[in-house]
Structure 1
Amino acid sequence: MPNPFARFTARFTTPALPQVVPGDVALVTGATSGIGAATATALVDAGFRVIGTSRDPQSPGAVANTPDHVELVPLDLGDPASIDRLPGELADIGVDVTGQAGPPVSVLVNNAGESQNGPLEELPRDALERLFQVNVLGHVEVTQQVLPGMRAQGRGRVVFVGSMLGSFPLAHRGSYGASKAAVKAFGFSARRELRPFGIGVSVMEPGAIDTGISQRRTVYIDRSGPYADEFDTMLTHLNANESAGIHADRVTAEIMRAVTSRRPKPLYAAGSSAGVAFPAARLLPRDAMHGIIAGRHGI
């Protein structure tokens, strides 16, 4: 006879899931720099067969920065046609996303993404579409491609790399924060959908991290407009905070916990006083918390 108490408590606990094992295939998007490179290295060290992605695997930068023992395949998250070609690229190196003609992807770390800055009033539509294609739709589409194989083998782990800005919005960073909040919603929803198939889904939210992203972010600001002064103040503090931020290895350690745990948590975080920020957000009025975040950026 079913135990009604067990059914009740199951709704409030994280169930044990089948674990991924050394030798399984791990796919890391954006594996040639920052968090992606550090995570790919950690997965290799843990005994996984690691496949990384890069927009152009043959470029000198990609070749030079690809971690040892990581196989690289082309993937541009901004190009839906490139995403459609990913199963074929994987098949060429013996990985079958369906799990029927070769080993499937057992671990997916959705890491690749772009950063964007600008006040809401001045963000161009094409820039927003590009950001959400890369940071949200691309992650969803890659995940959709590898899930059949995970389900077929009855185990898997998916980690979406978001940002603490998905939980703590910052002025002039609304589009980037919104893309990361969207990723978190997809991840949290998919946890319940995929749990019956032995697949764990987690979201990793880094805070300020020193990966050199300040040199690669896109900026949309009218220098003669009403937001320019505050925007420049925010950006100066943001760059300084990131230059003094944690190393990518700290983020990777949390990602590896999500990958290797029998009971992966929904959310992992590191950097920007994450251990204080999340509890404080449950206690303080929302505007007060937003004010603290703004204050850390000089505005």
Structure 2
Amino acid sequence: MSSVLITGASQGIGRAIAVELAGRGHRVIATARRPETLADLPVDQRLRLDVTDQESVDRAVRDAGEIDVLVSNAGETVRAPLESVPLAEVERLFQVNTLGALRVAQAVLPAMRERGAGRLVFVSSIQGRMVLPMIGPYGASKWALEALAETLAIETGHFGVKVSVVQPGAVSSGGGERARVHLGENDPYTPLYEALPALRGELVTPEDVATTVAATIEHPEPPLRVPAGAPAERALRARKAAPEDEPFLLAEIDW
């Protein structure tokens, strides 16, 4: 069984991944900015890790010991039109979702490279391959994350490191409900925001995503991109088939 470090394990997808992997017998190191939120998880270690803080990352990776697999899950989102979203919010999402993921990968890669083995599993989104209105900053951070992941797959593959990107669609994790919303009074984009639940498509559970992550970790030769659930498979298939010279809207899919 593998030693797996998970970022963002306090709730939602990260928590479900920790439970799933522990149940399969893996040695799980669950991390979060507030480690007290991990107290009830059936895991081997619970560590503080803030992906935006280099010192925090270095300390957690050191305290975790040997890490066979990194599950880079920590992430945040926002709801706002690009016309008026505060740029500080966009910067915050990139710090967490993109640069934070790279920061932790940089911390674990030297030991994996020296051992000639390791796994990097990035929890992305179908929005790493398409866009949704009102969630543009999140999508942009995931497109960037997927570019980093694919580059890492090329750069580190000959050192024995396997890289995968897990791509869920809409997940019933509560992340959308917790998202900061930036809409002014009588905002012209309010009708689009109110239509967002229908535009996001069919929901899957955090446990569904966790099962996909676990199967990816245990696969001897995992693919680079792994859709998490049938809705994600349908969405990504439709995106691939759609013309590239015009915008693609997820709501056009027959769920």
| Fold-level similarity (TM above 0.5) | yes
CA drift of 1:249 comes to 2.0
Equivalences for residues 119-138 of structure 1 within 5 A = 119-138=81-100
Equivalent position of 2:226 in the other structure: 268
Counterpart of 1:197, as a letter, is: F
Equivalent residue in structure 2 for 1:72, among 7, 28, 46: 46
Q: Which residue of 1 aligns with 2:18?
A: 40
**For residues 131-153 of structure 1, what are the alpha-carbon distances to aligned partners after superposition, in whole Å with 9 as ceiling and x for unaligned?**
10010000000100000111121
Q: Report the Cα distance in structure 1 between the residues aligned to 2:134 and 2:183, rounded to whole angstroms.
A: 9
Stretches of structure 1 that go unaligned for 5 or more consecutive residues are 1-21, 96-103
Q: Structure 1's 70 and 33: CA in aligned 2 closer, same or farther, altered over 3 A?
A: farther
Secondary structure in 1 matching 2:35:
coil
1:273 is paired with a residue whose SS is helix
Aligned-residue offset at 1:194:
0.8
| CA offsets 1:218-276 (integer angstroms, 9 cap, x no match) | 11122323222222222x4368x5xx621222212221222122211010112462332
User: How far off its partner does 1:288 sit?
Assistant: 7.0
In our comparison, the structure showing a higher alpha carbon Rg is 1
Checking the alignment, whether the CA contact within 8 Å between 1:30 and 1:111 is kept in structure 2 is yes
Q: Does residue 1:88 correspond to 2:67, yes or no?
A: no
Look up the equivalent residue of 1:69 and give its one-letter code. V
Q: Distance in 1 between matches of 2:11 and 2:182?
A: 24
Q: 2: distance between equivalents of 1:138 and 1:28?
A: 13
Moved more, 270-279 or 68-77: 270-279
Distance in 2 (CA, whole Å) between partners of 1:272 and 1:122 is 34
1:216 to 178, 197, 208: 178
Number of residues of Structure 1 aligned to a counterpart in Structure 2: 253
Where do 1:1-299 residues align within 5 Å? Answer: 22=1, 24-58=2-36, 61-63=37-39, 66-77=40-51, 79-80=52-53, 83-92=54-63, 95=65, 104-234=66-196, 236-237=197-198, 245-271=203-229, 273-286=231-244, 290-291=248-249, 293-295=250-252
Q: TM-score, normalised by structure 2?
A: 0.90
Q: Tell me if structure 1 keeps the 8 A contact 2:126–2:235.
A: no
Give 2:70's aligned amino acid: L
Q: Residue 122 of structure 1: CA displacement? A: 0.7
TM-score (norm: length of structure 1): 0.78
Q: CA separation in 1, counterparts of 2:210 and 2:45?
A: 19
Structure 2: how far apart are the matches of 1:238 and 1:74? 36
Give every structure 1 segment of 4 or more consecutive aligned residues whose post-TM-superposition deviation is greater than 3 Å.
89-93, 236-239, 286-289
Identity %: 35
For the Cα contact (< 8 Å) 2:72–2:120, is it kept in 1? yes
